Amino acid sequence: MRGPDRSLRPAGHAALNGALVSKILVGLKRVIDYNVRVRVKPDGTGIMTDGVKMSINPFDEIALEEALRIREKSGATEVIVASIGPADTQQQLRLGLAMGADRAILVQTDTPVEPLAAARTFLKLIEREQPQIVLLGKQGIDDDNNQTGQMLAALWNRPQATFASKVELSGASARVTREVDAGLETIEVDLPAVITTDLRLNEPRYVKLPEIMKAKKKPLDTVTLSDLGVDTAAQFKTLKYEPPAARQKGVMVKDVPELVAALKQKGLL
Amino acid sequence: MAKILVIAEHTAGKLNPATAKCVSCAAKIGGAVDVAIFASSADEVANQAAELAGVSRVLKIENPANTEPLAAVIAPQVVALASDYTHVLAPSTTFGKDVLPRVAALLGVGQLSDIMGVESEYVFRRPIYAGNAVVSIEAPADRKLVATVRTASFQPAATGGSAAIESPSVNAELPTHTRFIERSAAKSGRPDLQTANRVVSGGRALGSAENFNLLYGLADKLGAAVGASRAAVDAGYAANDLQVGQTGKIISPELYIAIGISGAIQHLTGIKDARTIVAINKDAEAPIFEVADYGLVGDLFTVVPELEKAIG
């Protein structure tokens, strides 16, 4: 079922250090909860998902928190949360609304999509919503691809600021500090832009019960993936799933001299 | 036959060792391997890349716009080069992860992340769920394969090669919407964590940034790099670039000494390719002992100074 088209809804424009940001689009992926010990099905055809707790991808939760903070500082921006997934993904979008997003869009599909297809789908949402900032987690903790934000920025022909640990808006640009292997790197990107979040960008707020009640009244539009006319055919075929090779459990040593002797014997000291 | 383009990673005139590991992965796929270097001046790095065994050609793409590795600037240039290749590879470092998906999307193809094993030209193994599962993936043979390489899974390519160095002309429109401002790297004088043979790593049990300094003495005695668990980094005991684990650095040293680290799965993912793991923890039930080659139950504040002295 397709909800009302809200793309023409007037949005407040807000100045944030002179920045013009009216809309922020945030991607929320539904994933197996961070605390669940993921196991491979014995026949190697997939991951055991029956009765497993599902949550918002933790990196995406950080993305939403950052969007809310930008809105709070500026006063009048709109935060839209969007997800691609089965009907049950409404649970995660409602949680996003309870955290403080203004409205939600579910692009419904029962078939998992690859990152390129997800990026193509989000590009459609961008064309509809015209956000100035798109905030996504740097990676899903399920398939650990770390691709969608970069692909989206490429298809949109806009800047990408990946692995963000600090975001400062100024004028028509954003200064983003990125967590890179060598330390921290700061880049400046013109808006609109895609920003992907790293773990230390912020600490997401806890949702209180009244917010969950209020979130039930916030708009949640559903469109089907096929309605958007996006090519989502899978390019990669998963042949099999296996548990990781286990390390052999070693030996316990009773004290430092025994440890040092063992390491010396192995030629490690 | 495969024709593989490897995107080099480099800093300050030094080829990053991740590139040599990427070349090893390319060699396992088979076929001709070229290495592309994007820089303002690439001579120094090109000479190092040319020495890697198995490399046919080194391509220098010199442009002032390539002074800093900005994904939005490099990606269209990679795309311009890619037409001659069946595979485009980069290391799965923050550099490769930033650039390569942008390349793939511009080419209109998907990307394979974190190759840990090569089964054939188009079948690869990669980890998912923080390494809790490994999948075998078949990529379509009729499309260009764009992929990042999990460097901890490959040994660096040997040196002794003498590849031709060329400077192809690259026609690409380069955006100006992304500008480099600065990079702040912790200067320690210790080995680089990503490539060190020995790593001493600390966890939350260190209790404070001040106590964390205890590790540096031991690390210096061993000539080791210093790492940290996510808990220790989140608590502010250590800088973010020291984080070892699924969301930090994935490393494969000869010797890894985990001190006061309980061994959360996401941390274990970052160290499971270490040759020898030593765990020191006061909790005998800590999961780190399940993967450690040598475990010592004890108070780190006693054990570490004692160990430092014993190594003397």
* CB atoms B307 and A260 under 8 Å: yes
Beta-bridge mates of residue B13: none
A15–chain B Cβ distance below 8 A for any pair: no
Is B3-166's fold the same as B198-311's? yes
C-alpha dist (Å) from residue B93 to B7, B23, B152, B251: 12, 14, 11, 11
Closest Cα partner for B34 from B49, B45, B13? B49
- pLDDT, residue B189, reads 74
Spatial separation of the C-alpha atoms in residues B148 and B92, rounded to whole Å: 5
In Å, how far are A142, A213, B90 from B37, measured between CA atoms? 33, 55, 11
Mean pLDDT across A215-226: 96
Q: Domain boundaries in chain B?
A: 3-166, 198-311
Q: What pLDDT is attached to residue A1?
A: 35
Q: Please answer yes or no on whether B277 and A247 come within 8 Å at the CB atom.
A: yes
pLDDT tens per residue, range A112-131: 999 999 999 999 999 999 99
Q: How far apart are CA A160 and CA A198, in angstroms?
A: 14
As given in the structure block, the two tokens for residue B239 are 């800088």
What's the topology of domain B198-311? Rossmann fold (3.40.50)
Amino acid at B88: V
Percent of chain B with pLDDT over 70: 99
Max CA-CA distance within chain A?
Answer: 73
Tell me: pLDDT of B97 over 90.
yes
- The one-letter amino acid code at B67 reads T
- Cβ pair B71:A162 closer than 8 A: yes
Please state the separation of Cα B43 from the chain's center in Å: 23
CA distance A173 to A132: 10
A44: nearest CA in chain B? B135
Which A residues, 209 through 268, put their C-beta within 8 Å of a C-beta on chain B?
Answer: 235-245, 247-257, 259-260, 262-263, 266, 268
Mean pLDDT over the full length of chain A: 91
pTM as predicted: 0.89
pLDDT single digits (tens) A96-114: 999 999 999 999 999 999 9
Q: Cβ A180–B129 below 8 Å, yes or no? A: no
Distance CA B304, CA B300 (A): 5
Q: Test A183 with B71 for CB contact under 8 angstroms.
A: no
- The per-residue pLDDT for A8 is 37
Put simply, the answer to whether B181 touches A187 (Cβ < 8 Å) is yes
Contact list, B70 vs chain A (CB under 8 Å) = 187
Q: How high is the pLDDT of residue B128?
A: 95
Q: How confident is the model at residue A37 (pLDDT cuts 50, 70, 90)?
A: confident
- Calculate what percentage of chain A has a pLDDT beyond 70: 92
Summarised one tens digit per residue, pLDDT across range B283-312 is 999 999 999 999 999 999 999 999 999 987
Q: What is the pLDDT of residues B144-156, one digit of tens each?
A: 999 999 998 999 9
Contact B110 A114 (CB under 8 A): yes
Quick one: which of A83, A61, A67, A78 has its CA closest to A220?
Answer: A83
B105 CB neighbours in chain A (<8 A) are 116, 119, 150-152, 154-155
User: pLDDT tens across B123-148, in order?
Assistant: 999 999 988 899 999 999 999 999 99
Alpha-carbon span A139 to B266, nearest angstrom:
14
Of B120, B118, B122, B95, which Cα lies nearest the Cα of B109? B122
Query: What is residue B30's DSSP assignment?
Result: -
**Cβ-contact B310, A256 below 8 angstroms:** yes
pLDDT at A19: 52
Give the model confidence (pLDDT) of B29-75 as tens digits. Answer: 999 999 999 999 999 999 999 999 999 999 999 999 999 999 999 99
Average pLDDT of the segment spanning B3-18: 96
For residue range B103-117, what is the model confidence (pLDDT) as tens digits? 999 999 999 999 999
Per-residue H/E/C for chain A: CCCCCCCCCCCCCEEECCEEECEEEEECCEEECCCCCCCECCCCCCECCCCCCEEECHHHHHHHHHHHHHHHHHCCCEEEEEEEECHHHHHHHHHHHHHCCCEEEEEECCCCCCHHHHHHHHHHHHHHHCCCEEEEECCCCCCCCCCHHHHHHHHHCCCEEEEEEEEEEECCEEEEEEEECCEEEEEEEECCEEEEECHHHCCCCCCCHHHHHHHCCCCEEEEEHHHHCCCCCCCCEEEEEECCCCCCCCEEECCHHHHHHHHHHCCCC
Which residues of chain A does B247 touch, with a Cβ-Cβ cutoff of 8 Å?
Answer: 198-199
What are the pLDDT digits (tens) for B233-277? 999 999 988 999 988 899 989 999 999 999 998 899 899 889 899
- A158 in B contact zone (CB under 8 Å): yes
Residue labelled with tokens 């013109």: A190
Q: Is A185 on the interface with B (CB under 8 A)?
A: yes
Residue A164 and residue A141: Cα distance in Å, rounded? 17
Neighbouring CB atoms inside 10 A of B12's CB total 6
Over the range B222-258, which residues count as b (16 or more CB within 10 Å of their CB) and which as e?
bebbbbbbbbbbbbebbbbbbbbbbbbbbbbbebbbb
Q: What are phi and psi of B204, to 5 degrees?
A: -60, -25
| pLDDT of residue A13 exceeding 50 | no
d(CA B111, CA A138): 15
Q: Which of A67-71, A139-143, A180-184 has the lowest mean pLDDT?
A: A180-184
pLDDT digits (tens, 9 = 90+) for B201-230: 999 999 999 999 999 999 999 999 999 999
- pLDDT at A6 (0 to 100): 39
Closest C-alpha to B106, from B80, B87, B141, B138: B80
Q: Are A250 and B300 in contact (CB under 8 A)?
A: no
So what's the pLDDT on residue B259?
A: 97
Can you tell me the mean pLDDT for B182-200? 84
The structure tokens listed for B295 are 């475990």
The CATH architecture that domain B3-166 belongs to is: 3-Layer(aba) Sandwich (3.40)
How much is the average pLDDT of B176-205? 89
Tokens matching residue A16: 């944030």
Q: Which of A37, A235, A260 has the most B C-beta neighbours within 10 Å, making it the best mutation to test the interface with B? A: A235
Query: Greatest CA span in chain B, whole angstroms?
Result: 62
Q: A150, A201, A241: best mutation site toward chain B, by most B Cβ within 10 Å?
A: A150
CA distances from B242 to A195, A222, B183, B227, B230 (A): 23, 43, 16, 5, 9
For chain A, list the domains and their CATH numbers: 14-265 (3.40.50.620)
pLDDT at A76 over 60: no
Angle at B250 between CA A186 and CA B124, to 5 degrees: 110
Question: What percentage of chain A exceeds 90 in pLDDT?
Answer: 79
Which three-class secondary structure state does DSSP give residue B155? coil
Specify the pLDDT at position A75. 59
